Structure 1
Amino acid sequence: MRKHNIFRYLWLAICPIAILSSCTKFADSYYEDPNRPSKASGTQLIANAQMYLSSVSSSAYGVHYPQYLSLTTYTDNTRFIATNLNFSTWYIGPLMNLESVLQNEKELNANEGPVANQIAVAKILKAFFLWHVTDRWGDIPMSEAFKGIDLPNPKYDRQEDIYNALFILLDEANNSVVSANGNIKNDIIYKGNMAQWKKLGNSIHMLMALRLSKVNPEKGKAEFIKAMNAGIMTSNNDNLSYPHLAEAANENFWYNSFTVQKRNWYALSEVLVNHMLPYNDPRLSVYGDKNSSGSYAGLEFGKLVPNPDVDIPKISLFGSTIRKQDSPVHLITYPQLLFAQAEAAKLGWISGGDGQAKTFYEDAIKQSIAQWTGGTSNVATYLANADITYDANKAIEQIATQRWIHLFPYGYEGWAEWRRTGFPNLTVASDINGGQVPRREGYPTQEASNNKINYEAAVKAFPYGGTDGLNTRVWWDKP
Structure 2
Amino acid sequence: MKKSIIIFSIAILSSACNNFDEDININPNAPSQASGTQLIANAMTSLPGLSSTTSGEFMSQYLSETQYVNASLYPQSSTSFYWLYQGPLMNLEAVLESDDLSGNEGPVANQLAVAKILKSYYMWHTTDRWGDVPYTEALQGADNFTPAYDTQESIYTNLFAVLKEAKDQVVPGTISNDIIYNGDMDKWVKLGNTIRMLMALRLSEVNPTLGQQEFTAAMQDGVLASNDDNLVFKHLQDGNFQNYWYGQIDLQGREWWALSTTLVNKMKPYADPRLPIYGNPNRTDGEYTGLVFGDTEDYDTEKYSLLGSAIHEQDSPVYLVTYAQTLFAMAEAAKIGWVTGGDAEAENYYNLAIENSMNQWGADISTLASFMAQPDIAYNPNTAVEQIATQRWIHLFMHGYEGWAEYRRTGFPDNMVSPGGADVPNRQIYIEAEQFNNTVNYNEAVQRQFGGTESLYGKVWWDVN
- Bucket of the pairwise TM-score, normalised by the shorter protein: over 0.9
Q: 1:40 to 1:73 in 2, by over 3 A?
A: closer
Q: In the alignment, does 2:230 pair up with 1:243? A: no
- Give how far 1:313 is off: 1.2
Q: 1:369 to 1:465 in 2, by over 3 A?
A: farther
Aligned 8 A contact 2:65 2:256 in 1: yes
Q: Name the structure 1 match of 2:80.
A: 86
In 2: Cα distance, 1:143 partner to 1:351 partner? 36
In 1: Cα distance, 2:62 partner to 2:418 partner? 16
Aligned 8 A contact 2:106 2:176 in 1: yes
Q: 1:250 to 1:32 in 2, by over 3 A?
A: closer
Q: Name the structure 2 match of 1:41.
A: 35
In 2: Cα distance, 1:358 partner to 1:75 partner? 40
Q: Name the structure 2 match of 1:418.
A: 407
Pairwise mapping of residues 177-196 of structure 1 onto structure 2 (< 5 A)?
177-179=170-172, 182-196=173-187
In 2: Cα distance, 1:109 partner to 1:193 partner? 18
- Give how far 1:260 is off: 0.6
Q: Name the structure 2 match of 1:142.
A: 135
Classify the secondary structure of the residue corresponding to 1:117.
helix
In 1: Cα distance, 2:260 partner to 2:136 partner? 39
Q: In the alignment, does 2:377 pair up with 1:385? A: no
In 2: Cα distance, 1:465 partner to 1:363 partner? 44
Count residues with an aligned counterpart.
441
The amino acid that maps onto 1:216 is N
In 2: Cα distance, 1:263 partner to 1:448 partner? 36
- Give how far 1:377 is off: 2.0
Classify the secondary structure of the residue corresponding to 1:187.
coil
Aligned 8 A contact 1:299 1:315 in 2: yes
Q: In the alignment, does 2:111 pair up with 1:118? A: yes
Q: Name the structure 2 match of 1:441.
A: 428
Pairwise mapping of residues 95-110 of structure 1 onto structure 2 (< 5 A)?
95-104=89-98, 106-110=99-103
Q: Name the structure 2 match of 1:349.
A: 338
Task: Tell me the TM-score normalised to structure 2 length.
Answer: 0.92
Classify the secondary structure of the residue corresponding to 1:377.
helix
Q: Name the structure 2 match of 1:278.
A: 269
- Give how far 1:148 is off: 1.4
- Give how far 1:82 is off: 5.0
Q: Name the structure 1 match of 2:290.
A: 298
In 1: Cα distance, 2:441 partner to 2:451 partner? 17
Classify the secondary structure of the residue corresponding to 1:183.
coil
Q: Name the structure 2 match of 1:476.
A: 462
Q: 1:328 to 1:398 in 2, by over 3 A?
A: same
Aligned sequence identity (%): 52
In 2: Cα distance, 1:121 partner to 1:247 partner? 26
In 1: Cα distance, 2:340 partner to 2:266 partner? 30
In 2: Cα distance, 1:430 partner to 1:55 partner? 25
Q: In the alignment, does 2:372 pair up with 1:373? A: no
Q: Name the structure 2 match of 1:233.
A: 224
The amino acid that maps onto 2:82 is S
In 2: Cα distance, 1:149 partner to 1:248 partner? 34
In 2: Cα distance, 1:469 partner to 1:42 partner? 39
- Give how far 1:441 is off: 0.1
Aligned 8 A contact 1:215 1:476 in 2: yes
- Give how far 1:34 is off: 4.1
Q: Name the structure 1 match of 2:305.
A: 316
In 1: Cα distance, 2:452 partner to 2:354 partner? 38
In 1: Cα distance, 2:88 partner to 2:330 partner? 30
In 1: Cα distance, 2:314 partner to 2:444 partner? 44
Aligned 8 A contact 1:282 1:373 in 2: no
Classify the secondary structure of the residue corresponding to 1:171.
helix
How big is the alpha-carbon RMSD for the aligned residues of Structure 1 and Structure 2?
Answer: 1.7
In 2: Cα distance, 1:312 partner to 1:221 partner? 46
In 2: Cα distance, 1:160 partner to 1:261 partner? 42
Q: 1:203 aligns with which of 189, 194, 197?
A: 194
In 2: Cα distance, 1:386 partner to 1:36 partner? 61
Q: 1:130 aligns with which of 114, 123, 130?
A: 123
Aligned 8 A contact 1:277 1:284 in 2: yes
In 2: Cα distance, 1:250 partner to 1:76 partner? 30
The amino acid that maps onto 1:438 is P
Aligned 8 A contact 2:273 2:363 in 1: no
Classify the secondary structure of the residue corresponding to 1:241.
strand
Classify the secondary structure of the residue corresponding to 1:165.
helix
In 1: Cα distance, 2:92 partner to 2:383 partner? 42
- Give how far 1:66 is off: 1.1
Q: 1:201 to 1:429 in 2, by over 3 A?
A: closer
In the alignment, structure 2 segments of 5+ residues that lack a partner are: 1-21
- Give how far 1:467 is off: 2.6
The amino acid that maps onto 2:47 is L
Q: Name the structure 1 match of 2:327.
A: 338
In 2: Cα distance, 1:81 partner to 1:60 partner? 14
In 2: Cα distance, 1:128 partner to 1:356 partner? 28
Classify the secondary structure of the residue corresponding to 2:294.
coil
The amino acid that maps onto 2:289 is A
Q: 1:152 aligns with which of 125, 145, 156?
A: 145
Q: In the alignment, does 2:207 pair up with 1:216? A: yes
- Give how far 1:376 is off: 2.8
Q: Which runs of 4+ in 1 moved over 6 A?
A: none
In 1: Cα distance, 2:34 partner to 2:307 partner? 42
Aligned 8 A contact 1:87 1:444 in 2: yes
Q: 1:168 to 1:294 in 2, by over 3 A?
A: same
In 1: Cα distance, 2:420 partner to 2:34 partner? 54
In 2: Cα distance, 1:84 partner to 1:40 partner? 33
- Give how far 1:430 is off: 6.0
In 2: Cα distance, 1:430 partner to 1:188 partner? 40
- Give how far 1:129 is off: 0.3
Q: Name the structure 2 match of 1:24.
A: none
The amino acid that maps onto 1:473 is K
Aligned 8 A contact 2:273 2:365 in 1: no
In 1: Cα distance, 2:260 partner to 2:380 partner? 27
In 1: Cα distance, 2:350 partner to 2:62 partner? 22
Q: 1:313 to 1:210 in 2, by over 3 A?
A: same
Q: Name the structure 1 match of 2:7.
A: none
The amino acid that maps onto 1:340 is A
Aligned 8 A contact 2:274 2:363 in 1: no
In 2: Cα distance, 1:89 partner to 1:216 partner? 31
